[in-house]
Every structure is written in structure tokens, then in C-alpha cells.
Chains A and B, each alone.
Chain A
Amino acid sequence: MTISPTRVVILGGGTAGWMTAASLIKAFQPHFCTVRLIESDEIGIVGVGEATLPQVHDFNDFLGLDEPEFMRETNATFKLGIDFSNWARNGDSYIHPFGIHGQAINGVPLFQYWLRARLNGHNTDLESYSFPIVACRNNRFDFPSDDDRSVRSTFAYAYHFDAVLYSRYLRKWATARGVQRTEGKVVDVTLRPEDGFIQSLTMQSGEIIEGDLFIDCSGFRGVLISQALKMGWEDWTQWLPCDRALAVPSDRSEAFTPYTRATAREAGWTWRIPLQHRTGNGYVYSSRFTTDERAAEVLLGALDARAQAEPRMLKFQAGRRQQSWYKNCLVIGLASGFLEPLESTSIYLAQIASNFLMRLFPGKTIDPKLAQEYNRLVDIEYERVRDFLILHYHANEKPAEEDPTGLWRYVREMAVPDSLLTKMETWRHRGHIHRYKDGLFAPPSWVAVYTGQRIFPQNYDRQVDTMSLEMVLQKMAEMKERVAVNVEAMPTHADFVRDYCFDPSAKVMMEDAQ
């Protein structure tokens, strides 16, 4: 018996579209599934998701990408975490690392020992025990060690890259392996009269493209899921009031950081993402609390080098699609949910969605149970990221003089979801964080943000009491020393990138390195 392949049609050639196309073509053989991607040269690609999470390794490894080549092609740099400046109060700064704060002692995380010391008046800097944070503060980079006893194994890394170049790179990779690319605009969507499934897309050229499964990666507009299938949107702006972003590239500057910087501003926050050849910048803000003109002024004023273009504006609404898989249409990327890139989650969310799709791939006849499970899994991911983002806003102590627009007072006083409230209570009481099975983020991430935003537990894990306070202080001092010595031995981020994956067109790097 010959079975005709399942025809997958992807609409939209941004990062989400090409990541999905690449995964499918890698996982499936041509007799089983064909992949066609429609993109229009006229429709711009939203290239804001330039900072990633360590999970992107799994994706690149699954495809079998060569790391130095991929980094050269996308002007990538390494990322060990995110620096959050001015969040709880102006002048504050903390790093959310891709790793832990020191190594566990007797199976209990080091920060619990730190809490005990702190409650006894020994107010040491939690960051000084974290290998990835100290590496960030010194602009160092090296690969993690395989030896899990070593402090050099206590972190993971991700990348900063140019999302437009990454899409192009994946496009080249995927089309070489059989993804059929069609250039043009979709002007009409035809639904099957009997069940409302999508039957075909009509192109401006008149061509009609049929398919079994349609994946909407068309971004904010949601051409299939929203315009054609009318699937609703769950609005989260009451918790995440930012609804606009201005983005602008600038010349590479002195600071070649192995981390992203997210700086709280009067009506939102600005990002700073160092690439090999330039720096990506942007300002995410709430139009309720500022004007576009003022926002542009704030963004340009925050640059540490010459702007390379006029700021480009994006409008959005925080929230998620009520169902990300409906009938024979799945939505991956921004049309599935929008969460501002404060924790660099957009590429992760597209990646995890395409993983779920591969695990639940329907074949030609679609069992609605698969869609139900897909939606359940996607919802868990979005909700967990949402709560974590809300925490960044909510946990601020900005007095009126640091809050000219009133945004920070609003987010401090707003009611947060119960799921977050419960987490915060347990944390405040004794620093406990429940490790959940699915979704971001793991306990060390919560530790970084809570402590970095001045929310401290009133107590600590009792298991720490099995050691005398003197011994605790001594162990902590040893950890700090071990971190410092090991970071000292690392190359600088600039040197490492130059030797490993340097794109020769990024001339500034050479000057930096000398």
C-alpha cells in the first residue's frame, strides 16, 4: 500500500516558520511528509528575538548545525545570562545567569547557606558565588566543563544572533533538504464547507496551494488562525501593559558582553544585545504611559554608540491564542502568543512548539485529542513564562521620583495571578521553590530574580542548620575563591569569539582585541 505524504504548508518565513520547516524536514522522510513554506519578500520580518536561551542548542544539534559556521553566518556571540539594571530601584543591577549560584552542599543549594549567613548579619554578595555571573561581570567566556564536580560545569550558554540572518541560514539549510519555498502573498483562504478545515490558500499569482496541515507562522497578523479561522486571543495586558517596541541597531561599542542587558526605563525597558558586527537595541514600552516621540528619545539616549538607522516600531498585545491548534491549523511563533522578550523566550517558545508538533504529529487524519494535548502543553509553557515576566515588573520599590510615568506604581499595585502569588509567598517565607516538570523556569532562575529585585526570604531551609555558622561561612568563602580563580583563567569573550567563530566583516572586533 502506498500512502501519499502528508502535505504541510507553512505560512510565514520568519524565525518561527523556518525553525518549524527545518525541524519537520529533518524529522520526516519525503515519502511521509512534504513541507512547503510560503513567504513574501514584501512583508517584513520581525527580527526582535535576537537573544536566546540554552535550549537552542538542542534545536541546532537536532539539525546537526556546525556551531562555528552557524555563529559566523548569523554574526553570533555567546550569552551567559541577562543583566537587569534599574529594576527594583534605579542603580540596582543583577544577573540572571544560565546556571546556579555556587555548588550545592550536602544536596542543598548554596543560596540557602547564603540566606542563613545573611540572616545572621553576614551580608555577602550572592553573585560572587555564581560562576556564570562572575564570568559575565568580567566579560569572559569559555565552554562548560563535562566534569560535574567542577564549578566550571555549573552553567549553560546561549547565543545572541541576528534573527534575520538565522532565518536565512535555516532557509538555506531547509531548502537544500527538500523544503519547497514559494514566494508570494496569500490573498485568500478556502475552508472546506463540511468541517471548516483549511482546504487551500490562494496566492496573488492565482496559484492555489492545497495542504493537509497548515502552520500559521505569519506573526502578529495570524492570517490563518485569526483572520480565516477566527480563533480568539486571551489578553494579558492587565499584567504586562507594554504594547509597543522601537528597535534600532547601533555600532559595536567597547563593551563586548557575554550577556544581554535589560534596563528598566520610565515606561518599560530597553534591551541591548551585542552581536559581532553591531549592537541590537530596543525599547519595549506601554503607550498608556508614554508617547512614541518620548520613547524614541529615551531609546536613542540610551545607546552607547552611533545609531545605524531610524528606530522601527512594532505594536503588539501581550497574551496568547485561545487554542494554538484548531482544526488542521497550528500556530507557531508570535501569532500563538506574545510575551515581550524580557527573558529571551520567543525562539524557545517556537522551538518547543515544533517539538510538541513532532511528538504529536497527526498524519493525514487529525485526531482532535492530539490538538487538545498540544494546546495543553503549549498553555503550560506560556503561563509559566508569563508569571516569571510579571514578577520582574511587580517586584519594584521605585519611589515617585524614579517613576515619572506611573507605570511602576501600576505594576507594583496590580493584582497578580494566583499562581504567582503562591510562589512568592512560599519564597518569602523560607526561600522554597517548587520544581515543576514542564516549562521554564527552573529554581535558580527564580532565585536570581527574587534576590535581584529585593524580595528576600525571612528564613532558610532547615537542612542548612546541620552545619555550624562558622563552617557555613568558611564553605562559602571557599566557593567564592574557587569561582574567582576559575574565572580568572578564562579567555575574554572578545578573544573567544575571534578565535572560534569570527565573521571577518566584523572589523571592529579586531581593533577591540588589540
Chain B
Amino acid sequence: MTGARAELDRKLKVVILGRDDALWLSANVLWRAFQQAGLEITVIELPSLLRAGDVYPTLKQQEAYHTLIGIEEAPMMRASQATFSLAQRFANFSRNRPPFMHAYSTYGRDIARVPFHHYWLKARAQGAKAEYEDFSVNAAAAKAGRFFIPGEAVDGFANCDYVYHLGAQGYCHVLKTVATQRRINHRPGRLADVVRDAQDGRITALKLMSGETVEGDFFIDASGQESLLLGAALGVKTESWQQWFPCDRLLTTYAPPLSPLPPFSQISAFRSGWVGLFPLRDRTAVQAAFTSHELSAEQALEAAHMVTNMRLNPDAIISPLFPGGRQAYWHKNCVAIGEAGVVFDPIDSVRMHANILGLSHLISLFPVSRESMLESAEYNRNVGAAYERIRDYQMCHYLLNQRNSQPMWDYARAVQPPELLKYKLELFAARGNVVQYDDETFEDDDWAAMWLGHGLFPKAYDPLVDQMSDAEAIQHFQRMLGFIRANVEPMKPMEAYLGMAPAAV
């Protein structure tokens, strides 16, 4: 290939069709990565499906993308009524175990190259009272109602992060405003038809209801669960994950704001599902996943009210929930970002992460030629594996429940997990080893904290732990607890970091 030909072939017309988070994140991230790279980006904005009170809880990787896009944290948070979160609290997943925190930080420190949880397991077997989460700075701060911006004070001891609860409408408005300021070519529209090449079946243009035709070389489907391009037009099927996720309905509504603002979110299981509370500044977002075999819409709202004991907005939305991934996320000249490709169960708040995961792989594999998009195979392998590892993590909340004698939960406990997860669970159950595959989102400490929190206690711990005397181990523990106490004590409530007045006590 000659140089001139190579450079010419790289001119690419990219069309992004979609709405809300997936659309505006895609537009901003791609513009940022390729603004001067000969891409012509057209954004077609479908009508938003967002309602007041909708929330996007994120994972910790979100912050880095805001930096990339050029979004400042404080104004973005103000505009989206956002709060920070240090952990997610899981309650009532067992009849006789206390709630636990999945903290966005490490737990304890390795001692003599052995992961901390092995020492904790031994101490627990000997009757020690300290919970695993007591060794997490984030969990300790969250339980004390304090917040902190991770920095030098804790750096040598722990890796600490935070996530956001973003008011969905406000957040999308911020993303859209930034995109508009960048003069990204965009227009509102509705899709009328998809034009495909008669020979190879790839998409050549989108016809809009307005009569306009938008031609392109490469199409990004950010249309959400409708999956207008990848699913509807190209016929890429979904592989259902429903056998592992017993909830088939999602209720969303909101309640009055909490004061003081808890620096964590909470997931509380009940007989027919669970209710999640996500603090925002002006209200509290509520999500409830449940099974329609047991509850009607009205009953679900009633249950959410019972579980939260909060005044809920009665105008709740109930939407079907069918977790699953597409057989391909990139097919021909079309990539799906977000729910057009993969629908996750809402537990663990992975939706926003799935968006940026798809985008980051897309950036490093962005097609270099109109003619052959061989990248799709590599993309599908890597992204597919990454989605499945996330799915496996989420699945454990259901699989490991101890709400015995309740039909939905009994079913969830009896389900056969996929092979790779089964192996992980067996290894941890045998000896506390955390197996990590390629393309994992959740780290060792995330897995261990979740498993231990749900009461999956390994049969044995690493025998190397026995090399340390109990007295010495206790000293280590006390030093860690002392460090955490000393650091959490001076922390302030979250309001201080959000420029809000302190809560009335």
C-alpha cells in the first residue's frame, strides 16, 4: 500500500446513533481520541428515556474518563446533583449474617507476601471479633459517615478510590453541553430505516423520520436496549443470562434526600428481589430488582417502601430486565456501546463501566480502514470476556445468598454457575486463593470482600500464615486498625466536600 493510499483510506465517516449516557459518552470519548485524526463524527440523538430521579452509579474508573474528556469534577457534580461513594453496603442477603461493605479500597495489607485475608481467616477461626471490612479505610470511613479524597495520608497503607452517584439527566446534560461546545456535528432525530449494502450486508446509511439520509462508513449503536442497529438491523442475537439472574423487573423511583448524606450506597435483599438506595443531593434514587413471578408492580412498590421505610414517589417506572450479551458486540461495520450490546443486572452498578470498557477497547482497535474491519474479532474476544467476568462477579450475590426457604433465593442458590466462575469459587472455597483471568474488572480484594461478606469462608487458609505467632499477628492487626482509626477520625462528612451546608444534627 502506498503512503497516499494509506492516508486516503483512513478518512472515515462515523455515525453515532443513540441516546443518553451511551450516546454522549461515545461522542465525547471518540471526539477526544480522534478529533484531529481524519474522522468525521455525526451524532444522531434519539429522544431521551431518562426521568427525574434516575441515577447512574459508577465504578471507580469513571473519574479517569472525565479527565480524558475534559470534564471538571466539581461543576459536573453540582449539575448532576451527584454525590461520592466509598462503598456499597449489602444487607439481608443472609438470615444470620450481618450486612457488609464492598469498599472501593484494599483491605489490610499483605504480610510476608501472603494476602491479608488469609491472616484474617485464621484469626476468625480462633474467635477474633474484627470484621473483614474493619481493615478497609473506605469501609471504616463509610460506616462513620465520613468522606475523604484519597491521597498521601493513606497511600502507603491502602489503595483507596471513590465512585459517583450521578443524577442521570443532569449528567447527560453536562456531557451534551461539552459535546456541543466541541462543535460535534449532532442533530435530534428518529430512525426510519437502515440502508445496507446489498452485497456484504454492511450498513451504508441511516434514514431518519425527517427524510434525511445520513451516510457513514462506521456506525456506533448507542440506542440502548432497543439495539436498533446491531440487534434490529443486523440481526445479532442476544445470549440470555437470565438463568443466573432471577430478577426480571426493575423498578425505579426516588425518595426525599438523606441528611446527612451517606457516603455509600445500599443494597437490601428482600423476599422477591432487592432494593438499592443511591443518595443524590436533592433526592435519593431508588432501584428495585424483583421477580414478576412473585410481585405485581404495585406490590413491588409496596415492598420497596417496606424495605426502605422511606416516602417513595408513587409514579414509579417498572421496566423489564433481561440480562444478556449479544453474540457479537462488533459486527460488520457496527459496534454497540452500552445496553445496545450488553444488558447487565443492575447489581454492582456496572452499567457505566460497561460503556467505558467498550469505548476504551474501541479506541485501541478503532478501524483503520473502511474496507476490512478485521479488528472486530479481537474486539469481540476481549470485550466479550470482560463482560463475562463482570457478569460472573455480579452473579455471586445471588448464588451465595443465605435467605433459605424463599423460592426466588432458593432457586438462585441452586443454579449451576458457568465453568470459569465455578472454578474460581472452588479455589476460594478450598484455600482462599483468588483466581484472576484475563480481562477482569474486579480486583482480588473486590472478590474476596464480596465472597467473605456473603459468608463464603474457605475451608483452609494459606499454611504460611502459621509461620507467624498469634501474638505477632495480633500486633499487625492492631497496627492496621490503629492506622485506620487515626485516619478516619479527623475526616469530615461528605457535605464538606460538596460545598453544601453541614447537615443539621
Contact = CB atoms under 8 A, between A and B. Distances in A.
Given A459-B369, A465-B36, A432 B364 contact: yes
B463 A360 contact: no
A203 B464 CA distance: 31
A373 interface: yes
Given A373-B435, A459-B6, A367 B460 contact: yes
Contact of B427 (A369, A425, A426): A369
B427 A466 contact: no
Interface residues of A, number: 39
Contacts of B499: none
B436 A437 contact: yes
A28 interface: yes
Contacts of A3: 466
Contact of A462 (B366, B427, B433): B366
A403 to B, nearest CB: 29
B486 interface: no
B423 to A, nearest CB: 8
Interface string B1-43: 1110011001000000000000000000000011111110000
B378 interface: yes
Interface in A388-429: 422, 425-426, 429
Interface residues of B, number: 45
A139 B34 CA distance: 41
A463 B368 CA distance: 10
B375 A463 contact: no
Nearest to A436: B438
A120 B6 contact: yes
Contact of A120 (B3, B37, B375, B435): B3
A370 B430 contact: yes
Contacts of A27: 113, 464
B368 A430 contact: yes
Given A119-B6, A120-B7, A430-B375, A367 B430 contact: yes
Contacts, number: 106
B458 to A, nearest CB: 10
A458 B431 contact: no
B35 A466 contact: yes
Given A32-B466, A437-B438, A465-B10, A370 B431 contact: yes
A29 interface: yes
Contacts of A436: 438
A159 interface: no
Interface string B372-410: 101101100010000000000000000000000000000
30 contacts: A27-B464, A28-B467, A32-B463, A32-B466, A360-B431, A360-B433, A361-B463, A369-B426, A369-B431, A370-B430, A373-B427, A422-B377, A425-B374, A426-B375, A426-B378, A430-B374, A438-B438, A459-B1, A460-B368, A461-B366, A462-B37, A462-B366, A463-B363, A463-B366, A465-B10, A465-B34, A465-B36, A465-B38, A466-B35, A467-B36
Interface of A: 3, 6, 27-29, 32, 119-121, 358-363, 367, 369-370, 373, 422, 425-426, 429-430, 432, 434, 436-438, 458-467
Given A120-B3, A461-B364, A461-B368, 14 more contacts: A3-B466, A28-B464, A120-B7, A121-B2, A121-B3, A369-B427, A370-B433, A373-B427, A434-B378, A462-B39, A465-B10, A465-B38, A466-B35, A467-B36
